[in-house]
Structure 1
Amino acid sequence: MKRYLLILSIIIAVASKTYAQTGNITEPEAITSAFQKNNIGKVVFEADTIPLDRLKQTDLVTGYEAKPANNLYMRLLLGNSLTNYQHSLQPSLNVEQLNQGNFQFTFYVDGKQAYQENLHKGANLPATKNTKTTIFVPLISNRGEDSWGRSLWGRFMARGGEDALTTGTHQLKIEVRPYVSIPDLKVGELIAQGGIRFTVPAIDPKDAELQPIKAGSGWQVSKEGFDTRKIMEMNALIAGNRFKQITSIVVIKNGKLLIEEYFNGSARDSLHNPRSVGKTFASTMMGIALHDGYIKSVNQTLKEFYHLKKYGNYSPQKENVTLKSLLTMSSVFDADDNKSDSPGNEENMYPTDDWVKFTLDLKTDSNKAAGKQWNYFTAGVVVLGDILNKSVPKRLDKYSAEKLFKPLGISNYRWQYTPQNVPNTAGGLQMRSLDYAKFGQLYKNGGSWNGKQVIPQSWVKESFTRHLTLPKDVVGEGFYGYLFWNKTYTVNNKAYETYYCSGNGGNKIFVFTDQPLVVIITAEAYNTPYAHPQVDKMMQDYILPAVLK
């Protein structure tokens, strides 16, 4: 009998050990914090970044007021790592396969589901998924952190949150579940949840009032009427942080200043950083240099400007890259800024000490047909700037000052420069909103300003040509010209086409083809998912309905 009991105890011990080994597929971090032990399975909220080992119950916030100065952080307190939760959901998958999934977030406002998202697999590193039992991210922050939490919040707000979180006090609840995507989508049980009182304050009527156009703008002020109620509604949404980090709006109609509004500490003389809006100035200067004979043709190739065999990954394909393909972002370089793993992604360029060399060292992609496939390629625009800088007299900055900015009466601006001290045509050309408006109106005028042809009219026409169709999976509907984007807004069932410059943060210069309108929007919503969609909403629902006849 004793022998039987001994054998039975050994079997139980081995079975228990085996179960312990198979219950988890990875080793999670130890849960040592008393705070975490007391709050496992909760989503908690904080107003600041406090390390877990110093976090106390009194540090948690139960209410949040939606004001620009207030931050909101979310912490998931889990009993195991995400990968182990996924393993129990789909035990046949290995760790790498489980890492193809992530968390599912469900947002409720006042008890009703407002948004649900299966977080992209890349939102957490594999090491985080495999080991971490606490996840801490910002949801709302004025500190500019690059975080999937802020992006998640932005998508929630854009796809249901804005409509649900109206003025007043609401109960916001977040539920978290694991999901796997192999072989099919499968969502697990609830692993964390939590709620917070969320207050959207009423807008001070003064913040919605139209800002009077002061003297000294350099523009003739328009006497045309517009729907002031619509603009005031938009101003209220900006003041209430529903449209976020907007700094200015300028509307030119029939060549006259109709609307001039500034927000969030910006003013008439503020220099804005519109990021990739500055790319379009490279196109402008290319057109001027072409007219002046410093550039022969947009069909000139890279081999006419560089000894390409001195650079890495030489190929005959590279020699035949044309200026036109760089202007239309359709060259054969292995580069795509919209793909984080692309060799030619701009984020790989910035840390290098020679951006042109970085670009010309790139491989070519044999699957790309020259001039046919659009891929956003910032580094290619840097090369255009370098070609201009070496081709025009007295460098690009002095040439542009004489040929573009002086005729437009623009003196207050600031270039950024590459490591080789060449004007950075990738973006970041800082100017006043009213001066961006001059640039837009110059194109609206067919390239002329005060009776002088600053840009060849033929170049404006070529720039405002739909050279390529944009991929819908990346940017939605639209077309691309010479470093100009093209899209069509629909208001009251009528289409309004515009060519426009666009930059990170929601910065835009709109030039409408069938209406006497130029619209400038500057913003600082850099690297947020709502930056461009909120500008579209502003244009679609407020600005265009207000100023169109």
Structure 2
Amino acid sequence: MKRYLLIISIILTTACKTFAQAGNIIEPEPITSVLQKANMGKVVFEADTIPLEKLEQTDLLTSYEAKPANNLYMRLLLANSLTNYQHSLAPSLSIEQLNGGNFQFVFYVDGRQVYQENLHKGANLPIAKNTKTTIFVPLISSRGEDSWGRFLWGRFMAHGGEDALTTGAHLLKIEVRPYVAIPDLKVGELIAQGEIRVTVPAIDFRDAELQNIKPGSGWQVSKEDFDKKKIMEMNALIAGNRFKQITSVVVISNGKLLIEEYFNGSARDSLHNPRSVGKTFASALMGIAVHDGYIKSVDQTLKEFYDLKKFSNYSPQKENVTLKSLLTMSSVFGADDNQSDSPGNEENMYPTDDWVKFALSLKTDSNKMAGKQWNYFTAGVVVLGDILNKSVPGGLDKYSAEKLFKPLVISNYRWQYTPQNVPNTAGGLQMRSLDYAKFGQLYKNGGVWNGKQVISQNWVKESFTKHLTLPKDVVGEGFYGYLFWNKTYTVNNKAYETYYCSGNGGNKIFIFTNQPLVVIITAEAYNTPYAHPQVDKMMKEYILPAVLK
């Protein structure tokens, strides 16, 4: 009898294997891990990067405390590869077509669905989709890995997770399904799920105390009143890592220093790297050079500065690219930093040995109308810097020191440089927060500092003009000036318009048009989906309500 049952078992096992292989479109990696076999179809959580072959059941987390030093990694333990799961959904599609889909993630907090996302097709390499039965990514990590897992977690937090994971204990559950994108979106059955107890510690309000403004700031200190409780609430959220990687908040009201707060190891003399905030300094220097006559006007074209036939992909369209179209990011170059596959994406520029050559060798886009279509184009701002460098006496480094930083009494700053040793106008101009505030207040003053016209009033006016409407699907509501952004905050049903400089990580210089306010926020939340949304929340819910009259 036992022998008979053994034979039946072997037959059934062989049949199942044969059926599974017949149902696959590609051979997945073999499943050899004892732990994976014991946890098939689960999403498990870990505190560190441990190879699967060394992973023990005791390494899997059942709880996580949301403190800045604690990391949280997610591992999918699947019975088959993603591509094979997708194949069962759409048997007629090729492997390449199946790779156009990915995983669907659904996040639940305390039994309530909070967020759902069909992961972008590029989030996993084809080899991982086709053969891998384990997928391991960080969700929360202090190591700063460039991983889709961190971005997924950031989007979850920005779209309800932050509000759901309040102080106290919660049950977080994640479900995973496959999806295919063509001919229509189709989502498969559950292939993995897991849950973990998440504890969010209470905020220590001793970390929320306002920081006294010390002498020697270079600013007159304001005696205006403001809602100190609101700022303390914001400080507590920064200290509790609810607002992440914020390094400073400075508020200037009526030309005087009202609020000066530093966080996460930053201090008054810290030099911050605000990334693309530095682009707007290129705009300011262009305005000064126009006023001084070294640049005739913003209507000058590239052919007046370069022999464009020496660069690849020559087109007569390039001849007529104006400085204004580069200042407003509306040139005809085939470039878009918001598209990862764009040939002109800035990430393709940085590894090259000549950034100007990279920019001027790009193809033009015949579908673009000059001055009409906005596309974020960092390489174009590098070209502006190069034009300035060759046009002003002594080069851009010396000219900026004499014409902008010296009048503003800014001496502690640090340019980054291109491979040709030209100040990098693409971004990365490091300064103190109080000195970024001087730059903002300069524009608030109509270009005047200490009674001297540093930037012409007309240039400020042109810079603060809504030259282009920003695409809603990329950056939301707003407009674009001369390397200045524009938006309107609504607080207590009232509108407050601001022009602002903006950089990766959540760095901002806000200049309000209908209020006597300049606000500086510096942050290091680089390449995170929450960087800019959390700044908007800080502004709308804390800073503006605290200081508006």
* 2:412 is equivalent to residue 412 of structure 1: yes
Confirm or deny that 1:239 pairs with 2:245: no
| Partner residue in 2 for 1:224 | 224
Q: What is the identity, as a one-letter code, of the residue corresponding to 1:516?
A: P
Partner of 2:182: 182
User: Are residue 199 (structure 1) and residue 199 (structure 2) matched?
Assistant: yes
Q: Percent identity?
A: 88
Q: Distance in 2 between matches of 1:366 and 1:459?
A: 31
Tell me, what secondary structure is at the counterpart of 1:203? coil
Matches within 5 A, 1:293-442: 293-442=293-442
2:546 paired residue number: 546
Give the counterpart letter for 1:411 in structure 2.
S
- Secondary structure of the corresponding residue to residue 403 of structure 1: helix
Residues 9-31 of structure 1 deviation map (CA, whole Å, 9 limit, x = unaligned): xxx9x999984554001111111
The secondary structure found in structure 2 opposite 1:261 is: strand
SS at match of 1:458: helix
Output the CA distance in 2 between the equivalents of 1:181 and 1:293.
Answer: 56
Which residue of the partner structure matches residue 447 of structure 2? 447
CA deviation map 1:268-289 (0-9, x unaligned): 1100000000000000000001
> Counterparts of 1:141 and 1:245 in 2: how far apart (Å)?
13
Supply the AA of the counterpart residue of 2:364.
Answer: T
One-letter code of the match for 1:331?
S
State the match for 1:213 in structure 2: 213
SS in 2 for 1:408: coil
Question: CA, structure 1 residues 34+16, in 2 after alignment: closer, same or farther (shift >3 Å)?
Answer: closer
Letter in 1 for 2:237: L
What SS does structure 1 have at the residue aligned with 2:321? coil
Residue 141 of structure 1 aligns with which residue? 141
**Structure 1: which amino acid aligns with 2:233?**
E
Whole-angstrom CA distance in 1 between matches of 2:401 and 2:368: 37
TM-score, normalised by the number of residues in structure 1:
0.96
Whether the 8 Å CA contact 2:21–2:27 is kept in 1: the answer is: no
Match of 2:59 in 1: 59
Q: Tell me which residue corresponds to 1:4.
A: none
Q: State how far apart, in whole Å, the 1-side matches of 2:16 and 2:75 are.
A: 33
Shift of 1:215: 1.0
Structure 2 SS opposite 1:474: helix
**4+ residue stretches of structure 1 with deviation over 4 A?**
14-21
Separation of aligned partners in 2, 1:43 and 1:69: 22
Structure 1 partner of 2:289: 289
Mean CA deviation greater in 62-71 or 18-27: 18-27
Residue of structure 1 equivalent to 2:511 = 511
Q: CA deviation at 1:196?
A: 1.2
Per the alignment, in what secondary structure is the counterpart of residue 368 of structure 1?
Answer: coil
Q: 1:381, CA displacement in angstroms?
A: 0.2
* Deviation of the 1:395 alpha carbon: 1.2
Residue type of the alignment partner of 1:110? D
What are the ranges of 5 or more consecutive residues in structure 2 without an aligned counterpart? 1-11
Offset of residue 183 of structure 1: 2.3
- CA shift in 2, pair 1:41/1:17, >3 Å: closer
User: 1:7 corresponds to which residue?
Assistant: none
Report Cα offsets for 1:65-123 as digits up to 9, x if no partner.
11111111111111100111111122222212221211111111112211111111111
TM-score (norm 2): 0.96
Match of 2:9 in 1: none
Superposed counterparts of 1:79-158, under 5 Å: 79-158=79-158
2:74 match: 74
Q: Deviations over 1:222-258 (max 9, x none)?
A: 1111111111111111111111111100000000011
The corresponding residue for 2:257 is 257
In 2, the alpha carbon distance for the partners of 1:351 and 1:120 equals 26
* 1:496 has 2:476 as partner: no
Measured after TM superposition, the shift of residue 179 of structure 1 is 1.4
